[in-house]
Structure 1
Amino acid sequence: MHHSRLSTLVLDCHTDDLKQATDFWSHALGKPVVSYDQDGDGKYAELATLADEPIILLQRVNHDSRVHLDIETDDLEAEAKRLEALGAKRVEFAHGRWWVMEAPSGHRFCVVQKQREAFGPHLNRWD
């Protein structure tokens, strides 16, 4: 048995100015900025969300801008296998930490470890 849930909305931004993109989305969504540089490498910014809302990250990327979802889980391998059984395919095990996957519709998404201390309350239970 394992658990998973929608964790994060990631705004992939093809830009040299992540701060400008972060300010736009902060104002557009009415969410304050938590960090313009979450990891200190200039690749991730985060907007404030409540504990029961998805995390909103902005990610500086080299591909076209798009939005992707992260599904968080307490068992990466079990969740990747469950999604493969539904028709998804694994694309890459990125940075040794998460699976980049592709849905049958062609949408990319990531399967990641749990992102917040409290892993709930809106969890799906898979046997």
Structure 2
Amino acid sequence: GVGYFLNVHEGPQMISHRAYRFPDTEMKAGMITSDEPGLYRPGQWGIRIENLICAVPAGQSEFGNYLKFETLTLCPIDTRCIERPLLSEQELSWLNAYHEEVYRRLAPRVSGAALAWLQARTAAI
């Protein structure tokens, strides 16, 4: 689902409360999509973080099988522009956990100046 026909959100899967549910549009394990939270100020500016995510099995219950998302994009988010007091504890926990994962998975692949940069950019805030 990402970029095959040079579109951002390509099907068949759809994630929307407004989407019609059809067997060929439901999210299935192994499907890749993008997560693009953003903030837009009309007539001023906008900012968006975009990660690719993969649907993976998350277990089952009496209500059915569930999926969760595994982040595929491993790039630090620039925290130099974040005003820490504006983050909720949940947002801060998510950001720090994301950076821990980025560091854990990338650190073994780099050394020297690249490792120092990665460590600085993924430090908890």
The verdict on a shared fold, with TM-score over 0.5 as the criterion, is no
Greater share of residues in helix: 2
- TM-score, normalised with respect to structure 2: 0.29
TM-score by length of 1: 0.29
Greater strand content = 1
The structure whose RCO (Cα within 8 Å, separation 6+) is larger is: 1
